[in-house]
C-alpha cells in the first residue's frame, strides 16, 4: 500500500502559467481533499470529493479546478498561476468503501507528502 | 470568530513535563474531533480522535472533550524532544463528515 501519493514534490511556475497537481490513493477511499498550507498557518480546504464524479468547493476554491473520474485519482488544476498561490499543497483521503458503520476512525484523513509550489 | 481556534505558541516545556494543548470551536453541533501532529516540512498524521465528552487515553496522550464549553484539549505526558512539532486540531461540523475544519496549530517545543 503506497497510501496517498502526490506529484510533483516541488515546482516553480511563472505568473500566468498553468499546471496540474496529481494525487492518487490506493486505499479505496471515497473521500478525497485538496488543502493548501501557507507558512505558519493551518490547512485550508480548496476542493473535496465524496466519490467519483462528485466534487464540491471548499473554503478557498478561486483559481483552482478539480475533477474525479476514478476513485483513485483527484487532480488539482491551477489556471493562470498567481503569486498568491505560492503554498504547500496537500492531498488527503478518508472513508474506505467498506466501513465499520460510521465510526469516527473511518474519517481519519491520510495525507500525501505535499507539493511545494512557488509562483514568481 | 474563527471556526477552530488554537494558540499558535510556541509552547515550551521541559523534557518529562506535561504539555497541554487547547482548542476551541464555534459550531456547537460539531461531531468529531481530531488531533494531528505535523513535523516541520512533513504532512500531518493523526494521533488522537475523540467524539464523546470526557477523556480518552492512548499511551502518553490524553484527549479531553467538553462539548458544553466547546473545547477540546490534548495532554502529552512525559514530553520528549521527539514530540516537538505543530499540533493541529480538526473538527467535523454538524451535518456531515465530509468537510473537516483545521485550526492553525500550536507549535510545541520540548526542551531537553
Over range A66-95, report the average pLDDT. Answer: 95
Whether A43 and B43 lie within 8 Å, measured CB to CB: no
Q: Answer for the pair A118, A13: CB distance below 8 angstroms, yes or no.
A: yes
B87 CB within 8 Å of a chain A CB: no
Specify whether the CB–CB gap between A46 and A60 falls below 8 A: yes
- Interatomic CA distance for residues A15 and A85, integer angstroms: 10
The pLDDT value given to residue A102: 54
Question: Which pLDDT does position B94 carry in this prediction?
Answer: 73
Closest Cβ opposite residue A104 in set B6, B32, B104: B32
Average pLDDT of the residues in B10-17: 96
Backbone angles phi, psi at A85, to 5 degrees: -95, 5
Distance between CA atoms of A93 and A96, rounded to whole angstroms?
9
Whether residue A40 and residue B8 make contact (CB cut-off 8 A), yes or no, is yes
Which is higher by pLDDT, A99 or B36? B36
Chain B: closest CA distance from residue A111 (Å): 6
Contacts 24+ apart (CB under 8 A), B63-68: B63/B33, B63/B35, B65/B33, B67/B28, B67/B30
* CA pair distance A1, A65, nearest whole angstrom: 28
pLDDT above 70 for A46: yes
Q: Is the pLDDT of residue A107 over 80?
A: no
Q: Quick one: cell of B59? A: 499511551
- In our burial notation (b when 16+ CB lie closer than 10 A, e otherwise), range B17-30 reads eebebbbbbeeeeb
Tens digits of residue pLDDT in A1-13? 789 999 999 999 9
pLDDT confidence bin for B1, thresholds 50/70/90? low
| B53 near A CB under 8 A | no
Residue A114's pLDDT is 97
Q: Is A51 exposed, middle or buried (0-12, 13-18, 19+ CB in 10 A)?
A: middle
Which residue of chain B is at minimal alpha-carbon distance from A38? Answer: B104
- Say if B7 is an interface residue toward chain A (CB within 8 Å): no
Contact between A109 and B104 using a beta-carbon 8 Å cutoff:
no
Whether chain A has a CB inside 8 Å of the CB on B102: the answer is yes
Average pLDDT of chain B to the nearest whole number: 92
| CB-CB neighbors (< 8 A) of A112 in chain B | 43
The pLDDT, as a whole number, for residue B60 is: 97
pLDDT at A101 over 60: no
**In this prediction, what percent of chain A has a pLDDT beyond 90?**
75
How is residue B4 annotated by DSSP?
E
Higher-pLDDT residue of A19, B29: A19
Stretch A64-76: mean pLDDT, rounded?
97
**% pLDDT > 70, chain A:** 91
Please report which confidence band the pLDDT of residue A87 belongs to, taking 50, 70 and 90 as the band edges: very high
pLDDT at A73 over 80: yes
- CB contacts of B43 in chain A (<8 Å) are 90, 111-114
Q: Which pLDDT belongs to residue A99?
A: 54
Å between B69 CA and nearest CA of chain A: 21
Closest chain A CA to residue B103: A42
The residue among A108, A68, A67, A63 whose CA lies nearest residue A87 is A63
The pLDDT value given to residue A95: 77
Amino acid at each position: 500500500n503506497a497510501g496517498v501519493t502526490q506529484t510533483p514534490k516541488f515546482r516553480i511556475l511563472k505568473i500566468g502559467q498553468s499546471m496540474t497537481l496529481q494525487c492518487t490513493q490506493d486505499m479505496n477511499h471515497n473521500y478525497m481533499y485538496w488543502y493548501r498550507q501557507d507558512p505558519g498557518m493551518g490547512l485550508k480546504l480548496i476542493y473535496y470529493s465524496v466519490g467519483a464524479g462528485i466534487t464540491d468547493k471548499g473554503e478557498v476554491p478561486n483559481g483552482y479546478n478539480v475533477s474525479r473520474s476514478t476513485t483513485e485519482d483527484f487532480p488539482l488544476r491551477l489556471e493562470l498561476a498567481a503569486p498568491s498561490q505560492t503554498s504547500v499543497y496537500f492531498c488527503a483521503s478518508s472513508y474506505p468503501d467498506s466501513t465499520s458503520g460510521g465510526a469516527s476512525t473511518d474519517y481519519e484523513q491520510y495525507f500525501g507528502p505535499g507539493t511545494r509550489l512557488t509562483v514568481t | 470568530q474563527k471556526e477552530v481556534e488554537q494558540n499558535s505558541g510556541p509552547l515550551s516545556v521541559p523534557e518529562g513535563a506535561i504539555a497541554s494543548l487547547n482548542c476551541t470551536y464555534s459550531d456547537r453541533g460539531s461531531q468529531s474531533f481530531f488531533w494531528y501532529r505535523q513535523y516541520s516540512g512533513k504532512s500531518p498524521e493523526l494521533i488522537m480522535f475523540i467524539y464523546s465528552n470526557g477523556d480518552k487515553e492512548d499511551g502518553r496522550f490524553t484527549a479531553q472533550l467538553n462539548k458544553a464549553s466547546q473545547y477540546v484539549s490534548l495532554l502529552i505526558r512525559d514530553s520528549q524532544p521527539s514530540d516537538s512539532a505543530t499540533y493541529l486540531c480538526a473538527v467535523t461540523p454538524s451535518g456531515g463528515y465530509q468537510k473537516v475544519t483545521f485550526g492553525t496549530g500550536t507549535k510545541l517545543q520540548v526542551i531537553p
